Structures are given as structure tokens and as C-alpha cells.
Amino acid sequence: MTMPVLLLTDALILLLLAGVVGYFYFVSRRPQMRATWMRVTESPSGMAALVVLFAYLVVGLLDSVHYRPVLEAKDPKAATVYSVEVLSLLDVLASPLRERQERTYSAPFDTRAYSKETIEIPGTDGAPGKQVREFPRLQFGGVHLALESERDRDILVTALRGFSLAFALWLALAALLSAVLARGSAISSSETMRRIWRGETRVPWSAVLIMLGLLLAIGGPVITLCTRYHVLGTDKVGQDVMYLALKSIRTGLVIGTLTTLVLLPLAVVAGVTAGYFRGWVDDVVQYVYTTLNSIPGVLLIAASVLLMQVYIDTHPDLFPTSVQRADLRLLFLCIILGLTSWTGLARLLRGEVLKLREFEYVQAAQAFGVGHSRIISRHILPNVMHVVLISLVLDFSGLVLAEAVLSYVGVGVDPSMTSFGTMINAARLEMGREPMVWWSLAAAFVFMFVLVLAANLFADSVRDAFDPRIRVRGPAMQKG
Amino acid sequence: MLAYIIRRMLYAIPILIGVNLITFALFFVVNTPEDIARMQLGAKRVTPEAIEKWKGEHGYDKPLLYNAAANGTDKISDTIFFDKSVRLFVFDFGNADDGRSIGHEISTRMWPSLALALPTFLIGLLFNVTIALLMAFFRATYLDFWGVVLCVAMMSISGLFYIIGGQYLISKLWNLVPISGFSGGFDAFKFLALPVAVGVIGGVGSGARWYRSFFLEEMGKDYVRTARAKGLSENVVMFRHVLQNAMIPILTGVVVVIPTLFMGSLISESFFGIPGLGSYTIDAIQAQDFAIVRAMVFMGSVLYIAGLLLTDISYTLVDPRIRLE
Amino acid sequence: MDKLLEIDNLRTEIEGAGAPTRAVDGISLDIERGETFALVGESGCGKSMTALSLMRLLPEAGHIAGGSVRIDGKDLLALPESEMRDQRGRRIAMIFQEPGTSLNAVMTVGRQIEEVLERHLGLAGEVSRARAQSLLEAVGVPDAARRLGEYPFQLSGGLKQRAMIAMALAAEPDILVADEPTTALDVTIQSQVLDLLKQLQADRGMAILLITHDLGIVSGMAKRVAVMYAGELVEVASRDAFFSDPQHPYSRKLFASLPGAGRRGEELAVIPGQVPPLNTAFHGCRFADRCDFVHARCRDESPGWTCLPDGHAVRCHWVEDRQKGIATRGMDAPRATFAGAAKAPLAAGDGKALLKVTELKVHFPIRKGVFKKTVGQVKAVDGVSLEVASGRTLALVGESGCGKTTVGKAILQLIRPTSGEVLFDGVDLVQLRGEALRTRRREFQIIFQDPYASLNPRLRVEDILLEGMSALGVGAGGESRRQRLNQLLDQVGLPQSALARYPHEFSGGQRQRIAIARALAVEPRLIICDEPTSALDVSVQAQILNLLARLQRELGLAYLFITHNLAVVEYLAHEVAVMYLGRIVERGTADEVLGSPKHPYTQALLSAVPRIDAGAARAVIKLEGELPSPVNPPSGCHFHPRCRDVMPECRTQYPGVTALSATRRVSCWLHAGKT
């Protein structure tokens, strides 16, 4: 038995997920909105990006199911005791990565540590042992090799095994897809397959399959290799960098999505009421957002986070585990980011609503004496939702990038929490070492770049589908 | 027009008051001076006496809003609110936790900040507009397509990587310029070249793509068709008609950041060791020096509001529709 | 025959989702030096694309798929782009529909004209400036020297279009392509601009390709006419032949669907269905589905040109057969429909005043200065009095900006009036608040101009129709509401299946029917129709006008019909009120006001309307200048600066209301004291 732990952010992620599912259920019943989303699915780059985002999402969700394992009791009659350590499903799946901790740095695929150590060589035949300074063998990386010279061949063989498994999986998925697509139509599944490859399907399945293939082609070998080697090396305390990178994904996703939970109601309420009622409501809203906007964003965030840190430090008793404390700080960061970044969307909505309220169908409703709340909910809100949606998907990548900067400044996530920001921050000092420790930085770079690029491409296709003219984003806010 | 500017300036006053109240609430109400003192002192040395002493040294030993013990106007003025918040209006920032005058630090540190931020801003703007114009000129060709792809890729890279990469390549590998540091005079050039370049390149992705959309939007307008119908060449249409119209939103959009250039750049300055306001701020954040953070928040707001004012004025300068109405 | 422009089999395609749209599908026509050639058609028929193809200025998704365009024998389509640029503006120039957006807003008018002089004539400096000034003078821009240094936004719509024309004429092109040059302008300004074009053409011997949907303009301007339908030309004729004896069933229907005084009490002809989408493959005649004379051959075989005397040519099997003397099946029966339109007498109404508006004023404050002090009032509506009798139609006529729409909204209390009384059935709506007003709202409703903006795209038709019923508690709900919905759809001529669909699935005319059904849903007694047909093509307009007339007869509705379109007024109004700058200058029965207008403004307005029967010389009263701004109306009679009968007292004092008969009121010093 284990004790499930529902972190605050886990709960909110579930809420958000439920919201997203609900939204798409809603969309599926509105032919118009469905048609617009269908246009999103017609963009090859958008669909390829979606595959990548989906992969990230799976990792992030696996990392959002937490529990406390039972400590093995020596006395079977004693009450079960739970570990203070909170683990997630991802931790379990990645336990080969998590548990195989070296003493310190090692380069990717290396079998020996990064720095020389003094090693005792026991004497033979009663001769005195001697001490040698050399690069010690790693405790886990490549430890199965009898001869280190076999390493390259072993890597190749292992990678090929992973690759062929991945290829088989990919073929199976492709066959499944064409079978599913062919179902209910007169076309055979092999013909469907041909059409996919000729790009004759409405949804660009070829792009999806290529992207999936690419992911599997990289993922397959990596998975088989990472049980034997440290594919991305290890960090200062010997943790596998691949594990850190995987753990960072959840942090990035949480920042990019939960922030919107805070931002959304504020922005919608402020923007819509200001635009619809005008007059003094508009004056107040405009005053509030000009005031908030005029405070430099980073500083406002920094000040809030510092103050929250003071609060956490002065109330240590509120948090049973360090994970929960770090989680609260993450949530706070989302809230603060949300509180400081709703103004852009609110202003956009205000402008849109100002235009909409002059539309004749709104006046027609007014001529029926329809109340304000009903006009807003029936006529205004549904017609500005595309602005909200576009702005949210566009914000996502900006928020992921902002996390890195904030963590660097020291006002981001808790230092104990793995994130792209903390990885980069740590890696910065490693750049000065000789020889250079480049792998953590490279890992953070690649994982983050792929996530943000996919998000940007997806956002573009959403924007193109919903409104090709709307401009939501200026040059990225100068966060530094 | 004068009335318009005066009105905008008057409008700035309630905003500054609002900023002031928000910062006051953040710094003194959410967490009391006791909390801050306790944290500053560290867990071990917390005694009631030590806290009182710390508060006394830093001027936090007064009531927040109303000093019942004082006489006359001191009831209002001898309070934390008056000392720490109202004084900001006359740019009296008080002292940092290390006892140095914040006002003095600001006045010396803003010049290195400006030396970095201004060239970055100007060169960046020129660069972004040029690239955007090129992409718009060659719209719907491979040049445009790959340009946009490159822009999206570049904007997907965190600014931190540009700095780290630039430092590694230029300074460490090729040894072209010092990796960090600053000096006055002409020497400043060799210290600033890299951070400026990094700043410009880091901003090109989003900037050029955004401006491209401005240009494309303008190019779809009726007056462009009219210009073509006159027989004007594509160059003239682009550089005389489209550029002029698109520069209105672009210029007025960037004017707002000009005053805030004084604030410098947090990340860049700290990476490159430039003794500007950005690195001052980041040091203060890391040292949890609230006096400095508060001063910088206020400064930033004042400059931003100045930027808004400049935006309004620049509109009247570049757009005849507003100038002449 | 001195052919200047020869278009041969021009084909233009526009890429989009699915098959390309063949916007121009094999057009051939010749234009002679110095003639005005009109290209007529409804929206979406490809006439603007034809014009842009000639200029090679197609939007980026479009391309010319084939054919040739020759000016003096030189094929424009074969020229490299750089040489084409030498032709644009020099040999072939163009003016566009929207003068407001077609000029560069941040460049002075003078500079924009000089650009052309510089580009094509190599003029520069003083010479070019002087030339630009003389061009502006030539197009009748007053105070040209000052206007040169002004920006487009400082010019009124009419002056902007004049400046556009000056620009187009700058390099003395041989042919001017005018794409709906007056559609965005008011009728009095339109007549000024059309006169200008005519006069310039006479002076310069320039050919004009006039693209328009307005047969009245064609009649006044063109020497020859071509009718375009679904990407093709269907009829080419001289003006006289076209107007006296149109041949193609489509052309005939267009004429028959025009409203006007002559058709009062008749049902207007309508063209059923819609223009087919141009990305489909056509086999037979493109008009076949909508044609009264269709027979089997029309569906299979695309008709070729049938030549009649005097260069009159028609693309129609029916005409061809008739020409050859072959009787075709289905020829006689439909003919009956041309014999005489169905009678549809105007409703009589009971004559009791339903709505009585007295001294209605709507003023908007102008704020200025540091503290946004109110420094003045825009008197959008400044003392309007009118009456609408139940079951009858009052047309409120005026040019844009005169305040007529504001009157409508103020009556509905969508804008609260500054002062005045709005008595509806004896109750003053201005005094009503909250619930009392809300319950009253079911008795008066509104129909808007833009059928695209007046329906919420996110709601199904059913929800749109139910909105008013549920807000005002009409109908018990459930089954009775469902019945009511079906009845409403029947009344406006939509199928029951419409209920579950969304507005974007309907055409403009159908959307307007939905909007009418929405208003009818709460069983109002008065409907304010705010330009309900001005966004529609004539054939669709006819459907809507017929519908409105029928509903009035059947349901005894009263209409306040706000419009600038006098032909519509002549067709359906019982009473007419003419508005100028916030005030009503003349009102009376339709016969009185339209038959013998008394106010000089009414007279000018009526004479400025382009008419298709203008073969006979018609004295057109020229109105100088433009509608002044309501911010700063002229002293005395607001109309005096433009009035040809201006007298000294007109300049100082606004004329009082003079009752010329029991029904007729006029505010003019000419008639003061003539009771």
C-alpha cells in the first residue's frame, strides 16, 4: 500500500485537464467551432508540433501523480510508516535513472568519472597496496561491460535494438491509424496508407507519422541505452541529467498552463466589463491595468516572490514535506505570474468588446430588453473566446521561457525543484570548468527548445485557424 | 495638443500613487518589518532585541500609517509610510541595507546601463525592421518562408542561451572580447560589443516576425493597390508607402521602452558584469535588500509612465491624423 | 471603329480551399477610344476582378489563367512586370470604390499626385506642383493650392474621390477604369462625381470602363453596356438597345426587380436562388437554375453568342431560338410572368397614429481640454417630429450623417434622447424605465442594414428567433413556441430546416429574412427598418421589399423606413420625411413629397438620383459642396450654403414649420407664410 499525495498543483492540473476535455466536448457539439478546430488539424506543422507537445504532456502528467511509498518495516506487526519522500509515477518508471546515482560529473556515455580520484589498489601477494590518481570507473554507467573497449560496439548494438523495437512500434501504429481511418469508408486500409503518404488526407497524417517516427527513432534507442549508460551524463552530485531534464518538463508545463488559470478569469472579467459597460467601470479597469503595467514585471514578480519566501521561511511548520513546500512556491509563482500578466489579454478583450457591443446583433438583443448578463454571456463572450484562446496558446511559450529567466534571477521555482531554469543556472558555473561540462546545459537547451518551438508552431496554427489577422504579441517582454 | 499632453501628465499622478500604494502594501503589509528583520538576521540570531535593533537601524521602528505618539504633522509624517513611500515622490530613496545611498548608486549606475541598453535598442530596432522589410518584400518566396522558420526557431530559444553561447563562442573559444567586465571611455566598446550583439540577436526572432506582420498587414491595404495602379515600382511602393505607414505603429510601439532603458537589463548586466542598474537590482534581489527593490520598482514605474507620455507625443509627431486634429 | 482596348478570352482564377475560383471566365470585349463602357453585374459576378486583371493588380491568391488584353494592339498580359508598370497610370489608370482607404493616409494629397507626374512625365519641383494644382482644380476641388498640402483625412469623401480622379488623370491615360467610383458616396455627391467624369471624358477624349451595379448610373453614363453573370458576359449592347430592349432573361429580371414609383402596388420581380459558386464546373448556361425560360438544352450546353442588329449580342439559347424562329418548349408559359407583375397593393392602414415623436433631440457632448470639459454638442438629432400611423410606412430619407439612424435608435430607447417625447400608443417611452420599458419593447422592433453583423454567428437560427420571445416572455414555451417558430419561418419564406443551422450557412438575403423573423417573433406593431436593403443586390432587395410589403398587408405592421435610397421610398412609402443635418426639412405623403417637392433640398436630392429612364433630358439640380458637420452647423437654415434659392433671411434664422396641406409640412423660407 502506498499513500497517494495530491499536491496543490496536481489538483489544479487535473482541474485544467478536465476543463480542456470539457471544452473539446463543447466544441465537438458546435459545428462552427468544430470546423475552426478542424482547420488547426489541417496544418502539418501544427499537427507535428502537437505530437511533440503530447509527448511532453504525457511525461508531465506521469510526473503529476504523486504518492509516498511505504517504508519497509522491520517488524511486520508495526503500523505502516510512509516515507517522507514523495514520488511520482514518472519517478517509478524512471527509477533506473533516478536510482543509479554516481558520485559526481560524468560525460554522456562515459564509463569513467569526470575528475581524477585517488584510488587504492590493493597489493597483491602481500605487497603493499598503492594509491593511484586516475579516473575511476563509474558505479553504474557502463558497469556491465567486461572490457571498456567494447563500449562503442555495445552502444551501437543496444541502440539498434531500441531502434528496431521503436520501428516495429511505429509500423504497428501506422497500420493501426490507417485501419482506423479506413473504418467506415469504402477505402481499404492499404489504400488509406497510400493516401496518407501522398498527402491526400485532409488531416496531414503523414506529418504526424513522420514526427512520431522521429520521436520514436530517438526515444527507442535512448530508452534501451539509458538503463546501461548515462545518456546525457551526470551532474555535480552524480544525478542522471536525463532524469533532471524529464523532471523539468512538469515544472515548465505547470508554469505555462496553471498561470492561465489565474490570468483567465481576471482578464476576462476586467476586459469584458470594461469594454461592455464603458464609463466609470472602464476608467477603473484601465487605471488598474495601467498601474500594474507600469511596475516593471520582473521586479513585481521578484518582490512578490521574495515576500512569499519570507512567509514560507517564517512558517516552516505549514509544510510537511519539502516537495510540498516547493510545490506551494511553484503555485505561488504561477499566481504571481498570472496577476502580473493578465493586463495584456484584458486590454485586448476590452478593445474587442468595445467593437462587438456596437454590433447590430447586440443592439437587436437590447431592443428585446435582454439583460446585460445575458447579452454578455450569449453575444459577447462566445465571440471573444478566440482572442482568449489565441492569447493563451501564445502565452504558453513565453511563460516557459520566463521561468528560466526568473529562476536564474533567483525568484523562480524553489531551488530544490528541478526546472529548466535551475538546470541552466547550475550549468552556467560548470561552463567555466576545464574540460567543460556542457551536457547539462545542452540537455536543458534541447528539451526546452523543442518544447517552446512546438508550442510556438502549434500556437501559430491555432492563430491562423481562428483569426489570421489578430496580433497578440509584441516583441517578447524584456524580462532582463 | 498642449492640453492633451497636460492631461496625460495629470493622469500619471494617480497611477504613481497607485504604484506607491501597491509597493507599500507588498513590502510592509503582507510581511511586517518583523518578518523581514527575522529573515535578514537569520534563524540563529533572532532575539526580540536584535529585531528591534535591526528595525531601528533601517528606519522600520515607526508605526506603519499613523503615529499616535508624535505631535502635529509628525503624526502623519513620522511613519514608515511617509518615510519609505511618500519620500519616493521626491526621489528620496534612502539607504540600502549596507548603508549606502540608493539615490547615489542609481545616478552613477544608470550610465553603464544606458551604454548597454541604448545601442542594443537602436541596433536591434534597425535590424528587426530591416529583416522584417526584407521578408515582407520577398513575401511568399522561400526566403520569406525560411526567414519565418528561422525567426520562430530563434524566438524559441531562451535568452540565457544566447548569452551563454555568445560568451562561450566569442570570448572563450575565439578570444575576441573579454568575457565580462566594464570600463569607461573608449574601452567600453570592447566590453559592450558582445552584450549588445547578443541582445540584438536574441530579440531578432520575435521582433522581425512581429514587424513582418505589420508590413504584410499594410501591404494588403487599398492604398498600396492605388500606389501600384499609378505605375510605381515595388521598391517605391515598399519604401515610400508601406514603410511610412507601418513605421507609425512600430515607432510608437517602441517609444514606451525608451525611458526604461535607463533601468538596464537584469540578465545581461549580471552575466557580463556590467555595473549598471540591472545588476544592482539583481544583486539586491539576491541579497533580499528590500529598500533597493522598492526604489527600483518606483523608478521603473516613473520611467514607464514617462514612456507612455512619450508615446502619446510621438503619435502626434508621426501621424498627421492626430497631429492636425 | 477605333478600338483602344481589346480583351480577348480573359480568364482569372483565385486560389482558395478546394478548386480554384474562376472569377473571370473567358471575357471578351472591345472598348473604343473615348467611349464609356459599362460593365454591370451584381456582387460576386467577377466585375472587379476583371478590372484588376486589366491592371494586373490581382490579389496575391489570384492569377491570370489566359487570354489577352491589348491596348492599341500591345498585349498587356505579355509584358514583363517592369514594362507593365510603365503602362499603369500612363495608358490605363484606375479609381476605386473606397476613396477613404485608397489614399495613403500619411502622405499629402499633392505628393500623391506628384508621384504620378514624376513617375510618368518626369516632372519635378515647382513644375510638378503647379501641375498637381491645376489637376486638382480641373477635378473641381475648391481652394486647390491649400488642399495640395493637406492629408486625405482632412478631405470629405467626395473631395477624396476627386483627388483620386486627379491622380488617375495626372499622366493623361487613354483609358480610366472606374470600379464603383460612387458607391461609397451620397447621392448628391455621386451626381457631382459622375458629372465630373463625364465632363473630363468629353474634354480629354478618354475611354472609361465603368464598373457598377447601378443601372441608373449606367443609363446616365455609358455608351455601351456589358452584363456580367457568374464570371461571364451574358449580354453586350449599346446603351439605347440595352435599356429599351434587354434580351437576356437575367438582364430583364434585373430591370424588373428595380423598385420605383412606377412599380407601386406591384410585386417586384425576383430572381430565385443565388449566383452559383464559381469554383464549380459548369456544363450548361450558368443562369439556368434561376431562369424562367430554362429548357433542357440550357442545362447541357453552354450558350454561344447570338448576334442581334447593331452590335447587340446575347448569350442565351432562348434568345437564339427565338431569333431563328424556333419555338421551344417552355417558352410561352413563362412569358406570362413578364406580361404584368402580380398586383400587391400597398396596405391602407387605419391611419391612427401609432408613434408620435415630438421635438426629439439627441445631443452628444464634445469634450475638450485638460479636464475634458464639455465644450459643445453634436446635435445629431435636433428637434425631429414625426408620426407613423399603424399599418403604414413612413420613410425617413436623408444622406449619411444627417442623423436618421440616431432617430431610429432614440425611438427604440437604445440611445436615450436628450429631450423630446416619443409617444407610442399614447405612452411616452422616454419616461419609461426598467421593467415598464422592457414589457413595452415587444411592440416595436428593429431590422438593421448589415445582414452579416446583425446575426450572432455563434447562435443557431432557432436560438436567434427565440431570444426575443424568451426575453419578453412571448409564447408559453414548449410546443407552442415550436409552432410559432415554424410559422415565423413560413412568414419570411425560409424552410423549417433552417432552425438548426447557423447564420453563416445563409446568403445575405436569407440572413435578412432571419433578421425580419427575429423582429416578428415578438409580434411587434412597429418595425424600424434601418436601411434593410442597402447591403443587398437589387434582385435580393426586391425579395426583401416584397416580403416587407406582404407582411405589412397581412399583419398590419407599421414601418419607419430609414433609407437613402429614393427608389425604394417611391416604391413602398405612404409618407415621407426628408432629413437634413439633424432636422426634418419636409414631410408629407409620398405623392406630395416625391411628386412635387417643395424644399430645395428635397428637389435636389430627387433630381440627383440616377434613373434609368433618363433618356429624356432631365433638369438636374446641382448641389454644391458637401453635407456640413453637425458639430458646427451653418447659421440660419442649415441648408443655405448649398441652396440655389438662398435668401437673406435664410442665413440668419432657421425657418419655422409651414403647413402646406393637412399632411404636408415644410421648413423653408420660400414657403413661409404660404399656408
Nearest to A364 among C444, C458, C518 (CB): C518
Q: pLDDT tens digits, residue range B198-256?
A: 999 999 998 999 999 889 989 989 999 999 999 999 999 999 999 989 988 888 888 88
Spell out the residues 6+ positions from residue B50 whose beta carbon is closer than 8 angstroms to its own.
B37, B41
Cell numbers linked to C433: 424605465
CB C89 within 8 A of CB C97: no
Instruction: Retrieve residue C54's grid coordinates.
Output: 486589366
φ/ψ bin of A111: left (φ > 0), alpha (ψ from -120 to 50), beta (otherwise): alpha
Confidence of residue A449 (pLDDT cuts 50, 70, 90): very high
For C563, the enclosing helix (H) or strand (E) is: strand C558-563
Please determine, for residue C177, whether its predicted confidence score (pLDDT) is greater than 80: yes
Whether residues B156 and A404 touch (CB distance < 8 A) is answered with no
Question: Could you tell me the CA-to-CA distances from C520 to A134, A212, C488, C548 in Å, in that order?
Answer: 93, 56, 7, 11
pLDDT of residue A479: 33
B7 touches chain C (CB under 8 A): yes
CB atoms C468 and A378 under 8 Å:
no
pLDDT of residue B232: 93
B227:C87 CB<8 A: no
For residue C328, the model assigns a pLDDT of 52
* Per-residue pLDDT, C337: 44
> Chain C 324-383, CB below 8 Å of chain B: which residues?
368-372
Pairing of strands C3-14, C62-71: antiparallel
Name every chain B residue with its beta carbon within 8 A of the beta carbon of A449: 156-157
* Residue B325: predicted pLDDT: 59
- In words, the CATH class of domain B107-318 is mainly alpha
Report the distance separating Cα C402 and Cα A149, nearest Å. 93
Q: Is the torsion defined by CA of A455, A461, A464, A465 positive or negative? A: negative
Pairs of residues, one from chain A and one from chain B, whose beta carbons lie less than 8 Å apart: 147
Residues 6+ apart with CB under 8 A from C591: none
Angle at the Cα of A103 from the Cα atoms of A99 and A104, rounded to 5 degrees: 110
Instruction: Give B52-114 as a DSSP string.
Output: HHHHHHHT--S-SS--TTS-TTHHHHSSHIIIIIGGGGGT---B-TTS-BHHHHHHHHHHHHH
Measure A125 CA to nearest chain B CA, in Å. 50
Q: CA-to-CA distance for A422 and A425, rounded, in angstroms?
A: 5
Cell digits of residue A84? 517522507
Cα–Cα distance measured from residue B317 to residue B304, given in angstroms and rounded to the nearest whole number: 20
d(CA A83, CA A108): 32
With b for 16 or more beta-carbon neighbours within 10 A and e for fewer, the C628-664 pattern comes to: bebeebbebbbbbbbbeebeeebeeebbebbebeeeb
Give every CB contact of residue B177 below 8 A, 6+ residues apart in sequence.
B170, B171, B190, B191, B193, B194
List chain B domain ranges: 2-90, 107-318
What pLDDT was estimated at residue B125?
94
The complex's ipTM works out to: 0.86
Mean pLDDT lowest among A270-274, B148-152, C635-639: C635-639
pLDDT tens, residue by residue, C380-393: 898 899 999 988 99
Mean pLDDT of C589-612: 89
Name the residue ranges covered by the structural domains of chain A. 112-138, 148-226, 239-471
The verdict on a CB contact (< 8 Å) between A408 and B39 is: no
Cell of B183: 570600463
In tens, the pLDDT along C237-263 reads 999 999 988 999 999 988 888 888 888
Residue of chain C whose alpha carbon sits nearest to that of A34 = C458
Q: Picking from A30-34, C105-109, C183-187, which range would have the lowest pLDDT averaged per residue?
A: A30-34
Taking only the tens place, the pLDDT of each residue in A389-432 is 888 888 899 999 998 888 888 888 888 888 998 888 888 778 77
CB A136 within 8 A of CB A113: yes
Residue B320 and residue C105: Cβ atoms within 8 Å? yes
Residue C330 has pLDDT above 60, yes or no: no
The average pLDDT across A315-334 equals 82
- pLDDT of B53 reads 78
Residues of chain C with Cβ-Cβ distance to A30 below 8 Å are 458
Question: How confident is the model over C460-516, as pLDDT tens digits?
Answer: 899 999 988 888 877 766 788 888 899 999 989 898 888 888 888 888 889 999 999
Stronger pLDDT, C114 or C275, i.e. the higher one: C114
pLDDT beyond 90 at A25: yes
Write the pLDDT tens digit of every residue in B48-88.
777 777 777 777 777 777 777 777 777 767 777 777 777 77
Q: How far is C655 from chain B (nearest CA, A)?
A: 33
Residue C266 DSSP symbol: B
pLDDT at C615 over 60: no
Which backbone phi and psi does C353 adopt, to 5 degrees? -65, 125
**pLDDT, averaged across chain A:** 85
Tell if the CB–CB gap between A409 and B26 is shorter than 8 Å. Answer: no
Residue C333 has a pLDDT of 40
| Residue count (chain B) | 325
Contact C414 A32 (CB under 8 A): no
**Residue A122 reports pLDDT greater than 80:** no
Give the separation between CA A466 and CA A387, rounded to whole angstroms: 8
CA nearest to C431, candidates C415, C449, C413, C448: C413
Mean pLDDT, chain C, integer: 87
In the block, which residue shows the cell 476543463? A19
Arithmetic mean of pLDDT, C572-584: 92
pLDDT digits (tens, 9 = 90+) for A197-214: 887 788 888 899 999 999
User: Chain C: residue nearest B7 by CA?
Assistant: C370
- Hey, what's the cell of B179? 568575457
Closest CA to C387 of C339, C338, C354: C354
Contact A294 B156 (CB under 8 A): no
Percentage of chain B beyond pLDDT 90 is: 24
Question: Residue C414 is nearest to which of A31, A367, A382, comparing CB atoms?
Answer: A367
pLDDT at A477 over 60: no
**Residue C338 above 50 pLDDT?**
no
Q: Report residue A261's pLDDT band, with 50, 70 and 90 as the boundaries.
A: confident
Predicted confidence (pLDDT) per residue in C48-100, tens digit: 999 999 999 998 888 999 999 999 989 999 999 999 999 999 999 999 988 88
With contact defined as beta carbons under 8 Å apart, do B96 and B291 qualify? Answer: yes
Residue A133 CB neighbours (<10 A): 10
Which chain A residues are closer than 8 Å to C449 by Cβ? 360
- Beta carbons of C587 and C575 less than 8 angstroms apart: yes
The grid coordinates listed for C13 are: 482564377
- Counting other chains too, the contacts that A24-30 makes at CB distance below 8 Å and 24 or more residues apart are A30/C458
Number of Cβ pairs closer than 8 Å across B and C? 89
Q: How does pLDDT run across A215-234, given as a tens digit for each residue?
A: 999 999 998 888 888 888 88
Taking only the tens place, the pLDDT of each residue in A12-24 is 999 999 999 999 9
* CATH 1.10.3720.10 is right for the domain spanning A239-471: yes
pLDDT at A237: 83
Where is average pLDDT lowest: A8-17, A30-39, C223-232? Answer: A30-39
**Residue A470: per-residue pLDDT:** 43
Q: Judging by DSSP bridges, how do beta strands C373-389 and C353-368 pair with one another? A: antiparallel
Predicted local confidence at residue A2, as pLDDT? 76
- The mean-pLDDT minimum among B4-18, C407-421, C485-499 falls in B4-18
B286: pLDDT strictly greater than 70: yes
Chain A residues 376-395 with CB within 8 Å of chain C = 378-379, 382-383
User: What's the whole-number mean pLDDT along residues A269-296?
Assistant: 91
Write out the residue limits of the CATH 3.40.50.300 domain(s) in chain C: 3-222
What pLDDT is recorded for position A480?
32
What pTM value is reported for the model?
Answer: 0.87
Of the pLDDT bands very low, low, confident and very high (cuts 50, 70, 90), residue A1 is low
Chain C residues whose beta carbon lies within 8 Å of the beta carbon of residue A32: 457-458, 502, 504
pLDDT of residue C593 exceeding 60: yes
By C-alpha distance, which of B253, B244, B224, B141 is closest to A471?
A: B253
The confidence score (pLDDT) of residue B316 equals 81
How many whole angstroms separate alpha carbon C22 and alpha carbon C3? 27
Out of B6, B226, B321, the one facing C103 most closely (by C-beta) is B226
Question: How many Cβ atoms from other residues are within 10 Å of residue C18's Cβ?
Answer: 9
Read off the amino acid at residue B56: G
Do B210 and A471 make contact, defined as CB atoms within 8 angstroms? yes
Distance between start and end Cα atoms, chain A: 48
Q: How confident is the model at residue A87 (pLDDT cuts 50, 70, 90)?
A: confident
Q: Count of CB atoms within 10 A of residue A23's CB?
A: 13
DSSP C11-52: EEEE--SSSPEEEEEEEEEEEETT-EEEEE--TTSSHHHHHH
Superfamily covering domain C3-222: P-loop containing nucleotide triphosphate hydrolases (3.40.50.300)
Q: Read off the pLDDT of each residue in C409-436 and give the average, rounded to a whole number.
A: 90
